Amino acid sequence: MNVVKLDMNEMPYAPPQHVIVAAGKGLSDLNRYADAQGLRQLRELLAEYAGVSEHHVVLSPGSDFLLREIIHAFSRERQVVTVSPSFLPTVQIADRFAPKRLGIRLSPPDFGLDPDLLISALEPLSLVIIDNPNNPTGQILLDRGLVATIAERQETLVVVDEAYFEFSGVTCAQLVTDHPNLCVVRTLDKAFGLAGARVGYAIAGEVFLNALSSFYVSLPQTSLYAATEALQNSGYMRRNVSRIVRERERLWQALRTLGACVYPSNANFLLLKAQVPDMAQRLRELDVWVSDMSNQLPLGYIRVSVGTREENKMFATRYNQVVCGS
Ligand SMILES: Cc1ncc(COP(=O)(O)O)c(C=O)c1O
């Protein structure tokens, strides 16, 4: 039996033929580095997509790489402020390299972030890194007003991780023009379905640009060509995002009907408090892979990516099987 892979928040639909053909063109140029003109064109396309000038766009082989660079560059003399739970690599890298990290706890029933709590937690020198929507809760934690308010504190550095922006439609990218201490991090790996190409980018205010532009980032030719084509003809991405949002609501409803405690989401995954504490392990034995969140949340929480209709049905069936058999 094939594995149903719903553990990494990937887009379940393969990119369309025109993107695959473009990536293939990169393969036939495998002896070459990506040329500067091509990289520049990709930055221009990303700038247009994000509604900022090209000057603010920094490329990266995946957005996790950017988050790591930012933590390396800025955390030495700063308190790193995250939420908890959050995208695990950010937490792990901050814990490894920053002298001090504060994780503001998000709790059921809504997993919301209290703005006053966040603001009162800030020290004069803080580096705030928040995923919005949050992984794994799917919640929108920040709006533009709150981001602007925090960024008014010029000594504070603010990073908004918008890996799932296309699913939520919420962004503060354009605020970077007026806030040099703000950086928005995004990726083409999720909504554009290019996880295998690893194309991330920052929309960076001046303070971040100064640090990030000190490393020159190239991309593999295949990634560059695939990303350029995907942005030039992005209709498929919008169609796939709509399909996933529809599937997300359908799956949410189906799980509620099965009696699961499932939270609303603004991303391409759902967080559940399963009735069975070792649900992730039990599903894995049935060839359904989901993410066990017990490293950041109490036992029993799992995160499941929204897959194709068939994958979601298979997940719901197996979930029910585990609950009924326990
Ligand atoms: C919130 C968040 N940020 C960043 C990333 C990293 O994405 P990538 O390195 O594929 O661009 C992920 C991946 O799952 C994520 O969930």
- Per DSSP, the residues of 219-287 read --HHHHHHHHHHHHTTHHHHHHHHHHHHHHHHHHHHHHHTT-EE---SSSEEEEE-SSTTHHHHHHHTT
Q: Do residues 103 and 84 make contact, with C-beta atoms less than 8 angstroms apart?
A: yes
The span from the CA of 239 to the CA of 93, in Å, is 35
* pLDDT score of 213: 77
Is any atom of ligand 1 closer than 6 Å to the C-beta of 63? yes
Distance 163 CA to ligand 1 centre (A): 6
Ligand 1 mutation target, pool 84, 106, 132, 135, most atoms within 8 A of CB = 135
Give the number of the atom of ligand 1 that is nearest the alpha carbon of residue 60.
Answer: 11
Is any atom of ligand 1 closer than 6 Å to the C-beta of 162? no
Distance 200 CA to ligand 1 centre (A): 9
Q: Do residues 267 and 252 make contact, with C-beta atoms less than 8 angstroms apart?
A: no
Q: Do residues 218 and 33 make contact, with C-beta atoms less than 8 angstroms apart?
A: yes
Could you give the domains of the chain?
4-12+236-325 (3.90.1150.10), 17-232 (3.40.640.10)
- Neighbouring CB atoms inside 10 A of 257's CB total 10
The span from the CA of 48 to the CA of 290, in Å, is 35
The residue among 214 and 135 whose pLDDT is bigger is 135
Residue with tokens 């992984």, as numbered in its chain: 135
pTM (2 d.p.)? 0.97
Task: Look at residue 1 and tell me whether its pLDDT is greater than 70.
Answer: no
For 17-69, the pLDDT digits (tens) are: 999 999 999 999 999 999 999 999 999 999 999 999 999 999 999 999 999 99
Q: Verify cis geometry, omega within 30 degrees of 0, for the bond prior to 16.
A: no
Summarize the chain as % helix, strand, coil (round to 5): 45, 15, 40
Determine the distance from the C-alpha atom of residue 81 to the mean position of all C-alpha atoms in its chain, rounded to a whole number.
Answer: 18
Report which protein residue has its CA nearest ligand 1's atom 6. 64
Whose CA is closest to 60, among 206, 225, 197? 197
Ligand 1 mutation target, pool 8, 59, 87, 170, most atoms within 8 A of CB = 87
* pLDDT score of 46: 98
For 153-174, the pLDDT digits (tens) are: 999 999 999 999 999 999 999 9
Distance 160 CA to ligand 1 centre (A): 12
For 295-321, the pLDDT digits (tens) are: 999 999 999 999 999 999 999 999 999
Q: Side chain identity at 38, as an amino acid letter?
A: G
Q: Which DSSP helix (H) or strand (E) runs through 117?
A: helix 115-121
Token couple for 133: 């929507």
Helix pair angle (17-28, 221-232), 10° resolution: 150
Q: Do residues 232 and 22 make contact, with C-beta atoms less than 8 angstroms apart?
A: no
Q: Which pairs count as long-range contacts for 121-124, CB under 8 Å and 24+ apart, including other chains?
A: 121/81, 122/81, 122/150, 122/153, 122/156, 123/78, 123/79, 124/155, 124/156
Is any atom of ligand 1 closer than 6 Å to the C-beta of 62? yes
Phi-psi region of 300 (alpha: psi -120 to 50; beta: other; left: phi over 0): left
* Model confidence band, residue 218 (pLDDT cutoffs 50, 70, 90): confident
CA dihedral 205, 206, 212, 215 (to 10 degrees): 140
Residue with tokens 């890996």, as numbered in its chain: 163
Phi-psi region of 71 (alpha: psi -120 to 50; beta: other; left: phi over 0): alpha
Residue with tokens 């709790």, as numbered in its chain: 107
Report which protein residue has its CA nearest ligand 1's atom 12. 163
Is any atom of ligand 1 closer than 6 Å to the C-beta of 135? yes
Is any atom of ligand 1 closer than 6 Å to the C-beta of 229? no
Is any atom of ligand 1 closer than 6 Å to the C-beta of 7? no
Is any atom of ligand 1 closer than 6 Å to the C-beta of 12? no
For 87-107, the pLDDT digits (tens) are: 999 999 999 999 999 999 999
Distance 299 CA to ligand 1 centre (A): 23
Strand spans (E) along the chain: 4-5, 57-60, 79-84, 100-105, 126-131, 157-161, 182-187, 200-204, 261-262, 269-273, 288-289, 291-292, 301-305
